[in-house]
Amino acid sequence: MTHSIQADSGWRVWWQLTRPHTLTASFAPVFLGTMIAIHYSTLNWPLFLAMLIASLLIQAATNMFNEYYDYARGLDTEESVGIGGAIVRNGVSPKTVLALAFLLYAISAVLGLYIAAATSWWLLAVGGIGMLVGFFYTGGPYPIAYTPLGELFSGLFMGFLIVIVAFFVQTGTITPTAIMLAIPSTLLVAAIMMANNIRDMVGDKKSGRRTLAILAGRPAAVMIFMWFFILAYVWIILLVVFSIVTPWALLVLLSIKKPAKVIMTFKRYTEPLQVMPAMKDTGITNTLFSFLLAIGLLVDYFL
């Protein structure tokens, strides 16, 4: 079966450059952290929106850095799956992509200044570290994406840390419950990266990457991937069993069919285009899980 990848045109070029299926990795943790916070303080909408926009911009910029540096290293071609394709398929200047990424970083930095001024100046350091991780994920002489640490860094910085910062922005503090509720987000964001690395194993191995998926081998990588999902759901069940969070948190179980389908797809298919829908569904799982958990917390708040 022959697959072809068509070039985009008009606004779709720029939209695909952000890799929209990955943006849930920043939206969902902000939303979740904010919904946890309403149990402790009144929702500050300007700070919530500033945090949300800054996180989305940093994620989009990180994807653009990925696009630029993978092109610069000769890894992306017109047939590459899962890329924005602005450079290799749509003829956008690499310098334009890099400049746009830094522009998004600059805007997010301004938003960060506003958030820090309203809360704590320590957040500038936290945000700065997060931005550095985003850049060095594929940039610099030793990209994080080329190592087995990709899932760890993405989970901690795009999952756990964003939930905690979103919570802190609203409350000015950090609680054990917030930390525990950030754990599933860590696992699910790591799962998004693992899905990407399993899909790209063949090309990544040729390019010299040593991702966790490559080191573990495909069967073991899919098993690890599956356990990211299992642990996220079991963690919430345990928090409910031990009365740490409301039973309404079990609403997350309504999303369980999605990761089950994802795992079946990765076990059945190996071609990048065949598993691409499952990778998108991994991002959707993260969104659904965080949204349902947040709704459960919201219901408990009003009851």
Residues 32-48: tens digit of each pLDDT: 999 999 999 999 999 99
pLDDT > 90: percent of the chain: 72
φ, ψ at 19 (rounded to 5°): 55, 70
Q: What is the mean pLDDT of residues 177-181?
A: 97
Identify the weakest region by mean pLDDT among 177-181, 203-207, 211-215, 263-267. Answer: 203-207
Identify the weakest region by mean pLDDT among 31-45, 73-87, 129-143, 198-212. Answer: 73-87
pLDDT band at 182 (very low <50, low <70, confident <90, very high): very high
Would the pTM count as exceeding 0.85? yes
Reference 204, options 138, 125, 256; nearest CA is: 138
Q: What is the mean pLDDT of residues 15-33?
A: 84
C-alpha–C-alpha distance, residues 180 and 137, integer Å? 26
Whether the predicted pLDDT of 78 surpasses 70: no
Whether the predicted pLDDT of 3 surpasses 60: no
Q: What is the mean pLDDT of residues 157-161?
A: 93
pLDDT > 70: percent of the chain: 93
More confident site: 259 or 14 = 259
Q: What is the mean pLDDT of residues 230-242?
A: 98
C-alpha–C-alpha distance, residues 217 and 210, integer Å? 11
SS3 readout for 181-231: HHHHHHHHHHHHHHHHHHHCHHHHHHCCCCCHHHHHCHHHHHHHHHHHHHH
- Return the SS3 of 11: helix
pLDDT band at 140 (very low <50, low <70, confident <90, very high): confident
CATH of 11-302, one of 3.40.50, 1.10.600, 3.30.2410, 1.10.10: 1.10.600
C-alpha–C-alpha distance, residues 178 and 39, integer Å? 10
Q: For the segment 244-261, what is each residue's pLDDT rounded down to a tens digit?
A: 999 999 999 999 999 999
Q: What is the mean pLDDT of residues 56-66?
A: 91
The packing angle between helices 45-72 and 24-37, to 10°, is: 160
pLDDT at residue number 91: 76
Whether the predicted pLDDT of 9 surpasses 80: no
